[in-house]
Each structure stands twice: as C-alpha cells, then as structure tokens.
C-alpha cells in the first residue's frame, strides 16, 4: 500500500485554484492526489507539472460529457468510480472532494492522525461548512481560504451535507459526489454515529470539532453567476441559486485564514 491518506477530485479550468488546493491538503496530511481532468483549456498542466514530477499527483484525462441524460454530473460519478477501482491499493483512505472544498481538522491535528481512530469503519463522513462571497464582487487577489470568511451558522436541528473519506477496498459502488455504498458496514461521522449512505445529510446536531470541510461554493459573486450559467447551459437538473448563498445566519470564520501564511510559504517554495 502506498499513502495512508489520498485525495481525489475532478476539475475543469481550475488552474487558478489547483496549487492552493494541493498545498493546503499536503499541509493537512494528504500524501497523494488522484486528479481527473474533464477537458480543461487553461494552464492547468503548467500548474500541475511540479507535483506530477514529484510523484504526488497522478493525473487522468477524463474527457467524458459532464452531464448524463438524467441531468446529473456523470463525469464526476464515473471519475470517482474509476478512482476507487484503479487506486484501491494505492491508499488506506481516499477523500473525495471538489476543488472548492478544503478538508482539515479544527483541532489542528493532521487529518491522518484523526483518521487512525476510525480504522475499523468503511468510511467517515465529514460535515461541510458553506461559505458565501464574503463581499467580493469579483475574484480577489488573495487565497481562497483567506478571502472568503463568512459562512452559514448551523442551528442545533440542522443537518449538513457531507463529503466522504473511504476505505477503497470496502467500497461497492459510488452513489454520488457525497456518498458510497460499502461491501460491509456503514460510514460514521466523527462521533461514530452511523450515517445512511443513501442520504447526503449528516446526523444532527452537526459534528465537526475533529474533521470539517469548508466549501467555497460560490466564491465571488462574478464566479457564482458564471457557475449558474454553466449549469443552466449544460441542462442540469441542479441549479445554482439566482441569489447569493443565504447568509442571514452568517458568522465570521477565519479558521482557515489563519493557515494562509503556511500555504503561501509552501507555494513560494514550490515556485
């Protein structure tokens, strides 16, 4: 077996964000990345070259239609399904994320250290915090993790969407971008509460003291509108909200902004 913790994502024209995403997760304890390129036309190859040369990134060409006939993101599901099979012996755990999602432990511990408490389970689901544009009309110059600092504050009875960290040898099928069916047992949250893999929501109340995903879905208002247009043009059943992410219950969260200096140093060393 290779890495203890790997991460998988599919991307398209995300060159401006890939290096930050990679360096952040390297600092968080991810050792290997399986990336699926869904037809990018930007400078992603230049960005990824040093990581590929170093052996920490394995890149797959994945030029399949983004959406299936049912309007769901087929390219993503098939990429995740391929990753589970092709890399089942390359990592003890694989985290399945999007490029706008950042996995970490609020405790400050490396993610692998936390995961060692869950070695008996087939998967761990990680609650997701949702961030809005944070006042940015256009893409700011700073890092994602330092630029977007307003998120929705969950209520005690809220259920949160999650992302999965799986034991690839115990996965039977990819169900969605969020969930997987396992050959035995059920995934659990950080409190070891079993979670139904047919649902995309965690148990309540939300548990994210040890593991959390920060989701910067909209980024700036300009990017939110561009994403909404892309989904609509593709004919997706999914719709990006016409209005910005609901932030009437907004709180300021600079948890990851505090990690920005370390990410900047890592990016400078890589250059």
Spell out the domain ranges in the chain.
Answer: 3-270
| Planar angle of CA 169, 96, 101, nearest 5 degrees | 160
Across the chain, which distance is largest between two alpha carbons, in Å?
47
| All residues at 6 or more sequence positions from 181 whose CB lies less than 8 Å from its CB, including other chains | 171, 172, 173, 175, 197
pLDDT for 139: 86
pLDDT in tens, 47-56: 999 999 999 9
Residue 132 has pLDDT above 70, yes or no: yes
Going 142 to 223 to 104 to 255, the CA torsion angle's sign is positive
- At the second CATH level, the architecture of 3-270 is Alpha-Beta Complex (3.90)
- Kindly tell me the burial class for residue 255, based on how many C-beta atoms sit within 10 Å of its own C-beta (0-12, 13-18, 19 or more): middle
Residue 100 has pLDDT above 90, yes or no: yes
pLDDT for 240: 54
pLDDT in tens, 144-156: 999 999 998 888 8
Find the mean pLDDT for residues 132-143: 88
Residue 137 has pLDDT above 50, yes or no: yes
Contact 144, 128 (CB under 8 A): no
Contact 103, 216 (CB under 8 A): no
Contact 13, 38 (CB under 8 A): no
Find the mean pLDDT for residues 65-94: 84
Residue 104 has pLDDT above 60, yes or no: yes
pLDDT band at residue 230, thresholds of 50, 70 and 90? Answer: low
Looking at residue 194, what DSSP letter applies?
A: B
Q: How far apart are CA 28 and CA 104, in angstroms?
A: 6
Residue 13 has pLDDT above 60, yes or no: yes
């Amino acid at each position: 077996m290779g890495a203890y913790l790997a991460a998988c994502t599919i991307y398209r024209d995300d060159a401006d964000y890939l290096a930050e995403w990679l360096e952040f997760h390297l600092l968080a304890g991810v050792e290997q990345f399986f990336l699926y390129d869904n037809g990018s036309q930007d400078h992603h190859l230049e960005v990824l070259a040093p990581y590929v040369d170093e052996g920490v990134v394995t890149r797959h060409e994945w030029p399949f239609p983004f959406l299936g006939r049912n309007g769901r993101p087929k390219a993503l599901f098939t990429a995740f399904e391929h990753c589970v099979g092709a890399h089942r012996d390359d990592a003890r755990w694989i985290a399945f994320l999007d490029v706008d999602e950042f996995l970490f432990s609020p405790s400050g511990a490396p993610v692998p250290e936390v995961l060692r408490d869950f070695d008996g389970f087939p998967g761990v689901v990680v609650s997701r915090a949702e961030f809005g544009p944070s006042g940015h009309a256009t893409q700011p110059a700073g890092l994602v993790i330092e630029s977007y600092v307003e998120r929705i504050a969950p209520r005690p009875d809220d259920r949160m969407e999650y992302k999965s960290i799986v034991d690839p040898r115990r996965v039977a099928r990819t169900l969605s971008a969020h969930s997987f069916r396992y050959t035995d047992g059920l995934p659990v949250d950080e409190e070891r509460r079993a979670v139904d893999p047919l649902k995309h929501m965690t148990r309540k109340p939300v548990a994210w003291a040890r593991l959390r995903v920060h989701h910067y879905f909209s980024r700036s208002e300009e990017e939110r509108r561009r994403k909404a247009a892309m989904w609509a043009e593709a004919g997706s059943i999914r719709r990006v909200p016409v209005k910005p992410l609901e932030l009437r219950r907004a709180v300021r969260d600079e948890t990851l902004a505090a990690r920005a200096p370390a990410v900047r140093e890592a990016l400078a060393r890589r250059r």
